[in-house]
Amino acid sequence: MYTKKLMEKIKNIIRGHSLFMLHYCTGCGAIELPPTMTSRFDMERLGIAPMATPRQADILLITGYLSAKTLRRVIYTYEQMQSPKWVVGFGSCTINGGIYYDSYSTINELDLYLPVDLYLAGCMPRPEAIINGFERLIEKIENGDADGWKHYKQNREWYKKNQKQALGDSLYTTR
């Protein structure tokens, strides 16, 4: 029992310091990522690197507003990622809709559809804020608090219900 806990702790520490994020930029916040990744702020020193496919990625970044049409793809992509996996909501649009709060085609709150582990507030958050946010995420992962993927698995029906409400019944699910 103790060894299992220790093993889990080690795994979490390893996971926290090796985060691959998916290159699936959905909104305007993606423009803040290049400075975060390149020389000035250098995200790689935290062990965070961009990845091209959801199969290899650990973090799904939702960078800003998310239209309903994109949400369908994002859900599909999220389900293709392998757990443990984390969702980071980026900018105020993912929190409450932001300036698109009354749009007929963008969603208001991401947390209803995907289990968000970390929100980065701002419109848009500066690279410093992003780095700060990621450090917070690493901390959460190391402590085992970032368990959105487990929550998604356990409360699948609730999430599916919300997704269907927003997207209609023709939502494609993988399993």
Partner 1 sequence: MEQKKVIEKISNEYGIKKIKFKKIENQQFKVKINKKEIINFLTYLKNIGFWQLSLITAVDWIDNNQFEIVYNLVSWELEQHIIVKTFIPRENPRITSIINIWPVAKYYEWDVNEYFGVVFDGNPNNGKELFLENWDDKPPMRKDFDPLNYSKEKFPEKEYKNFRMKRKREVIE
Partner 2 sequence: MILNIIFRGLILIFGAFLFQVALSGFSRKVVARIQKRYGPVFWQNFRDIFKFLFKETSISHGFIFDFGVLMAFGGTMATLIFLPYGSFEVIPGQTNFIVVIYLLAIGLLGMAMSAVGSANPNASIGISRALTQMLGYELPFLIVVLVMMYINKTSSIGGLVQSQIQNGWNLWSMPIGAGVSFVSVMGMLGKKPFDSPIAPAEIASGPLVEYSGKYLGILMLQHDFATVIEVGLFVNLFLGGGSNILIFAIKYIVVYILMVIISSFLPRFKVEESVKFFWKWGLSLAFLQAVISLGIYLI
Partner 3 sequence: MTISYLIITAGIMSAIIYLVSKFNWKAGTILQTLTFLIIGYFLYHNGDYSSSQLAIFNNISLNFTYSYFNEIFLYLGISVMIIVSLFSIDGIKNYQYKPVYNFLTTLIFMSILGVFGAADFITLFIFWELMTWVSFFLISMGKKYSKKAALLFLFMSMIAAYLMITGIFLIDNAVGGITFSNLINNYGSISYSLKFKILMLFVLAGLIKGGVYPLHIWMRTSYSESPDSFTSILSGILMKFGFYLIYLIGLFFPVAFILKNNPSKLISELPSSTFFAYLAGISIIIGTIAAILQNDAKKLIAFSSVSHAGYILLAFTYGTSMAFAGGVTHILVHALTALGMFLSIGAVYFRTGTTKIDELGGLIKNMPLTFTTYLVSIISLAGIPPLFGFVSKWMIYQSLIINGSYFLAFAAFFGSIGSFMYVFRPLAGVFLGQRPKKFENVKEVPFFMKAGMLIVTILTVLFGVLPGLVLKPIISMQQSIGIEPIKASLYRLFSGLTTLDMLVVFTVFGAGFILALIIFLLFAKPTRVKQHEQYTAGEIVPELQTQPSIYHYAKNYYKPFSRIFDKFPSMEKLYKKGAEYLSSSFGVIEEFFYEESINGYIWLISITFLVIIAIRWF
Residue 11's binding partner, choosing from partner 3, partner 1, partner 2, none, with beta-carbon cut-off 5 to 8 A by kind?
partner 2
Binding partner 1 (rule: CB under 8 A), the pick from 22, 24, 48, 72 is 72
Q: Reading across the β-sheet that carries 59-63, which strands appear in turn?
A: 48-51, 19-22, 59-63, 86-90, 116-120
Residues numbered 38 to 77 that lie near partner 2 (CB under 8 A) are 38-39, 42, 44-47, 51-53, 55-56, 58
Closest CA to 94 of 115, 72, 66, 118: 66
E strands within 64-110?
A: 86-90
Judged by CB under 8 A, the residue of 9, 11, 73, 161 near partner 3 is: 73
Site string for partner 1, 31-70 (x = CB under 8 A): -------------------------------------xx-
Distance CA 129, CA 120 (A): 7
Q: Verify binding: residue 166, partner 1, rule CB under 8 A.
A: yes
Q: Which of 118, 33, 28, 26 is nearest to 67 (CA)?
A: 26
**Residues within the interface to partner 3 (CB under 8 A):** 24, 53-55, 70, 72-74, 76-77, 80, 172, 174-175
